[in-house]
Structure 1
């Protein structure tokens, strides 16, 4: 009689033969009850989702890949077995001066993703890395360690990007961003969109065919989310941007569901049911991003707020404005005036994250402090006229917690705080006051909002509606409605933001330009202006 363990081994062997070919299976063994495929020969290239690095520190970083020979198929072309993957890190792009190497397992429980924490490296220098599975080699990626904590640092140059709806445009901006040679990339979220496939979009100018279609319906299950990430990550321009520099990742809403807040979604789904969806979405998010293994989700929860320090120049505080917030006020209707925006018990960061942020700000010894987050903090009147109207999914719908953050910055005497934001699908530059419509004598901080990579289609230079908003809100200094990304060039005395825009994303061949340079002097948030 064949016992259950032998049957599982035989099933794994048969699946491996089917997936890789009969010559692929050099050996099958069992470790802790899990079948392991040794030295596979893949029928198709297994590194179709590229490589990435992230979470840089003075002594190392994380490198990532995922084995997926057939990325959109059920099982992504892999057997239900752990596969050994070798990794190599070198000081040179030709991978000759190797400084670290090892092996890891791509496990089916994590969609055959690999997260390797590389350590014992030198601070503030570039490294190159690659993966090997069987006879197959991945592309070579470039990472960079951060300076030692407190180390004098003259300059830092990094990119800000996000909002990349696959159906609404090509990732031309990512290809250009890869050529900028940034020290790192901050992705503010909306890496994928959860929507079902559509043939057209209804723009204000009328129906328009989408640029390329999602595969499948709206995503709910783990397989759904894995397939959606795979479709996005097969884009070679996005792969180029990941291979060019380490990324710091945060999410916004579309990685799970539009406008979600804590355990609430926009459809009034019972919280227990929505948490099941969150759990699957969060696992897929972790599987596809260069996070440390310590960030592995627990149920629907994942630790995302954290800090990176760049010498004595900059403290980079990454925030999570989704997981701990209270539900949107005023029934989450855009622009609806109502008193709920002033609720005393409203939360945007949650009490624990807010205390953590205040502690980090209070102990900072760096020249600049950054709040890297998702939704606009400027308190803009979005519909000029008699009544104040708000974007309720932004900090403007949470006036009390917004006030606490700005008051704490002011109380601590910090005068070089910069807020980096996304979500709006437009570029903005402006000042932060306790009351955005009636600003005080001096701003508390500066905010730069990066436009989308593709969400919103080609866009236009400046919307007439946003011109009216700018006229209504003196704290808003500039706006633009094209696609692109932001480059931040930081020295001890000046922060310069370059707004990079692409003239079109609905077809290939878009051209890049630096649409605007704006700068703010250290210690003078009221100095924001053209650079």
Structure 2
């Protein structure tokens, strides 16, 4: 079992650790003419106010003989010595190499790309989507394999970090939940805590390799702040404390991700306000695909019938929770719902994208645990944190998909640490209603599930729209798409407790152009 401790690097130059680029490099938020390059310097004293000049280079070749752009920037202690270089004016649909330098130190080389121009036909796209990488629950073998897949993009769907301290039971070999590595960090509540937590996760070489391999599109989920948090929350007796924690978590997220400064809608001083980080956005990969990246945490209504004294929303029975059926409750918030509806309507017009992708956090399709009959479903226990807890919001999105249907709609999600493949019906409770879209909800990189295969198989049997339900594997989803078809391969790690674990395909599904709903491929 491996332990990790913050601040373990020895001093090399004034203020900097021996390995100033120990947290790796990354790129993200690509467009057809630009991309954001990221790194964060490892410093000896996080409170040291001195600035550091970081030089950067972008080249056509890995040897940096054909430089495209170069420049320099100064880090700030106020931003955790993070570097965000926002490049513009680049040619579309091109690969590049980049690196950073400070003093005599040179960073690892990253590889990034621009997207095809919006009017380009763009014949193919290869991407991975993933989520949920709790440090203690396993190694990041999935990322090692993903980095070798020659990907165009990674789409990360949340829970990049977990705020918890390492469980005490992790040291006990008889623990019911295996703990494969531990750390010495306390539960994250302050900016320093969250910075240390990102440094922990980013110290993993396999995660660094995945970041360096290609650009990422990013959103977040709850554990970037705390388990099951909901919007501004405003919990009685803890509101000011929670808002300070949320602001710290939001700042650390921005510092550690390849995001443009424009996501800081109100600047650093506005991080304790509503709409503090604007993460929902669209990205067009030519005319082949358009991604609508969603944020289902920052604007949502508090979970229905939630007890403010409990840390988890849990489940409720509809007969005991009238709030659950309140049609005004939203998972995305009114403004984001309207933005998404407008985007779907745009995608449905002539000349719109071949594939419309909703990149969001969790499982969209309903899960009925009480059986397939309406009577069994009427008062079954309902989880209140995912889309099941916001049926009015789900129905509004289904209405948008039916009123102005894009050519092909695919939802991708994570959060639940289980693989699900589903048909998305116009009426989620009627399997004979029209199929509007396809859904792939991926398992976790490392986080445990807690569900059993027997329960998942029973659920699949009682829910005709669920084509696959499997909680046992860790891994990611590999997607290959062209104008004729979308193919998802669910990739499973053999041994989550080993950094050198092998990886294998668990299942493969395709969606054909013009035919909504996944089909299993043998």
TM-score, normalised to structure 1's length?
Answer: 0.87
CA deviation vs aligned residue, 1:399-426 (integer Å, no higher than 9, x gap): 1111001111110033411111000101
Measure the CA separation in 1 of the matches of 2:127 and 2:517: 23
3-state DSSP of counterpart to 2:129: strand
After the TM superposition, which segments of 4 or more aligned residues of structure 1 sit over 6 Å from their partners? none
Quote the residue 1:477 is aligned against.
467
3-state DSSP of counterpart to 1:109: helix
Measure the CA separation in 2 of the matches of 1:413 and 1:361: 7
Measure the CA separation in 1 of the matches of 2:180 and 2:66: 43
Quote the residue 1:438 is aligned against.
430
Quote the residue 1:371 is aligned against.
358
Measure the CA separation in 2 of the matches of 1:361 and 1:195: 37
Name the Cα RMSD after superposition: 2.2
**Correspondence list, 1:319-468, <5 A:** 319-331=294-306, 333-338=313-318, 339-364=322-347, 365-384=352-371, 386=376, 387-456=379-448, 463-468=453-458
3-state DSSP of counterpart to 2:384: coil
CA deviation vs aligned residue, 1:342-396 (integer Å, no higher than 9, x gap): 1122011111111111111111211111110002110111354834332211111
Measure the CA separation in 2 of the matches of 1:194 and 1:59: 36
Measure the CA separation in 2 of the matches of 1:449 and 1:356: 23
Quote the residue 1:272 is aligned against.
240
Which has more radius of gyration? Answer: 1
Quote the residue 1:13 is aligned against.
none
**Correspondence list, 1:225-304, <5 A:** 225-264=194-233, 270-296=238-264, 297=268, 298-300=270-272, 301-304=276-279
Kindly tell me: are residues 401 and 95 of structure 1, through their superposed partners in 2, closer, same or farther at Cα, counting changes over 3 Å? same
Quote the residue 2:183 is aligned against.
214
Measure the CA separation in 2 of the matches of 1:499 and 1:527: 13
1:157·1:489 contact (CA, 8 Å) conserved in 2? Answer: yes
2:427·2:433 contact (CA, 8 Å) conserved in 1? Answer: no
Quick one: which of 496, 500, 506 aligns to 1:509? 500
Quote the residue 2:5 is aligned against.
none
2:116·2:285 contact (CA, 8 Å) conserved in 1? Answer: yes
3-state DSSP of counterpart to 1:419: strand
2:53·2:102 contact (CA, 8 Å) conserved in 1? Answer: yes
Measure the CA separation in 1 of the matches of 2:43 and 2:240: 35
TM-score, normalised to structure 2's length?
Answer: 0.89
| 1:56 has 2:30 as partner | yes
3-state DSSP of counterpart to 1:131: strand
Quote the residue 1:170 is aligned against.
139
Shift of 1:510: 1.3
Measure the CA separation in 1 of the matches of 2:510 and 2:344: 22
Shift of 1:523: 1.7
1:379·1:435 contact (CA, 8 Å) conserved in 2? Answer: no
Shift of 1:527: 5.3
Kindly tell me: are residues 99 and 465 of structure 1, through their superposed partners in 2, closer, same or farther at Cα, counting changes over 3 Å? same
| 1:155 has 2:124 as partner | yes
Quote the residue 1:6 is aligned against.
none
Structure 2 segments unaligned to the other structure (5+ residues): 1-9, 307-311
Quote the residue 1:32 is aligned against.
none
Shift of 1:95: 1.6
3-state DSSP of counterpart to 2:316: coil
3-state DSSP of counterpart to 1:444: strand
Structure 1 segments unaligned to the other structure (5+ residues): 1-18, 26-39
Shift of 1:268: 5.6
3-state DSSP of counterpart to 1:45: coil
Quote the residue 2:489 is aligned against.
498
Measure the CA separation in 1 of the matches of 2:501 and 2:223: 25
| 1:66 has 2:35 as partner | no
293-302 or 163-172: which moved more?
A: 293-302
2:191·2:252 contact (CA, 8 Å) conserved in 1? Answer: yes
1:201·1:207 contact (CA, 8 Å) conserved in 2? Answer: no
1:380·1:437 contact (CA, 8 Å) conserved in 2? Answer: no
Shift of 1:206: 5.0
| 1:112 has 2:81 as partner | yes
1:305·1:317 contact (CA, 8 Å) conserved in 2? Answer: yes
Kindly tell me: are residues 79 and 202 of structure 1, through their superposed partners in 2, closer, same or farther at Cα, counting changes over 3 Å? closer
